[in-house]
Amino acid sequence: MPPETDESDFLSLLRDTTEFVKYFKELGIDGTEPAAETTSPLPPVVAQLTARVSESPQPIPSAFSQKPSNAALFEDAPVAADTLPNSTETFEEIWADIGNCTRCPLYERRTHIVHTDGNRKARLMFVGEAPGADEDAQAKPFVGRAGQLLTKIIEAIGLKREEVLIGNVNRCRPPGNRPPTPEEAAMCKPFLLREIAAVQPEVIVVLGNTAMRNLLDIKQGITKVRGEFQNYHGVKVMPTFHPAYLLRDPSKKKETWEDLKKVRDYLDTTRK
């Protein structure tokens, strides 16, 4: 293998490691337990390259600004014959149709209807299942602890919260933050689909089982499907864990990071 190939591989590894550490720091993790095979000293060539990178006056380019070498990864999802319908609707028109909704029993205990929020020209959209207590109080999606974690995840892939679109399948809080029932979801889902058609995002990240099953109409659980691009009317869909689940099981943050890296790299390859 040519020496320059070795160096390129090591630089790529260093970039990934730097981003990985940054992500975990963003999520409030001070350190990770090293695997047994990683406790040995660095080989001399790696140590030399590390020193050269740290001394270089040129910053290491972000992986967000480079085309990944594994672009074929994004060919995995089958291409659907249909595409999103062209829509000239505005969110205000869609929300006017929702009105002071009483279509399902959730309206009886809500404080606010929580509509989709963010950049209406976003390339990337996040969809969860339903508002929680903080969201119900503030009439804005993902503002509680799970929302704060989602904001850090968005920032870890090089974006700002205001650059993306964030919504839920249901717009009213279920009692006790339980998942919405299929009947409750069926009342709200058409409005979410109209918003998706109005925005035409390039990628949708579905957070958790409820959002995934409602958007994709599949029966598998999130652990079976996460990490692999799915297809919704020609739109790439990445299923991953809900931030609320990550708060309960922080060990899943690593898998979520891998999922979001794929999203980031795909958006980079299609950047205009």
pLDDT digit string, tens, across residues 125-142: 999 999 999 999 999 999
pLDDT tens figures, 238-268: 999 999 999 999 999 999 999 999 999 999 9
Query: Side by side, which strands form the sheet with 203-207?
Result: 117-118, 165-168, 124-128, 203-207, 235-240, 230-232
pLDDT at 4: 53
- 104 compared with 81, residue with greater pLDDT: 104
* Token digits of residue 227: 């990490």
pLDDT at 168: 98
> Could you tell me what percentage of the chain is helix, strand and coil, using 3-state DSSP and rounding each to the nearest 5?
50, 10, 40
Strands 124-128 and 165-168: parallel
pLDDT tens figures, 3-50: 555 666 666 566 666 665 655 555 554 444 443 333 334 444 444 434
Nearest to 169 by CA among 206, 129, 197, 112: 129
Can you give the C-alpha Rg of the chain in angstroms? 21
* 203: confidence class by pLDDT, cuts 50, 70, 90: very high
Are the CB atoms for 101 and 172 separated by under 8 Å? yes
Residue type, position 41, single letter: P
Are the CB atoms for 115 and 95 separated by under 8 Å? yes
Query: What backbone phi and psi angles, to 5 degrees, belong to 111?
Result: -95, -45
- Residue ranges covered by each domain of the chain: 3-60, 91-269
Are the CB atoms for 218 and 212 separated by under 8 Å? yes
Are the CB atoms for 261 and 17 separated by under 8 Å? no
Query: What backbone phi and psi angles, to 5 degrees, belong to 129?
Result: -95, -45
How many Cβ atoms sit within 10 Å of the Cβ of residue 67? Answer: 11
- Region of poorest pLDDT, from 71-85, 114-128, 199-213, 221-235: 71-85
Distance CA 152, CA 267 (A): 18
Are the CB atoms for 227 and 262 separated by under 8 Å? yes
Sole residue written with tokens 């995840």? 153
Give the domain 91-269 fold. Answer: Uracil-DNA Glycosylase, subunit E (3.40.470)
pLDDT tens figures, 144-202: 999 999 999 999 999 999 999 999 999 999 999 999 999 999 999 999 999 999 999 99
- 271 compared with 105, residue with greater pLDDT: 105
Instruction: Kindly report the pTM of this predicted structure.
Output: 0.73
Q: Residue 268 in 3-state DSSP?
A: helix
Residue 21 to residues 25, 32, 197, 253, Cα–Cα distance (Å): 6, 9, 36, 12
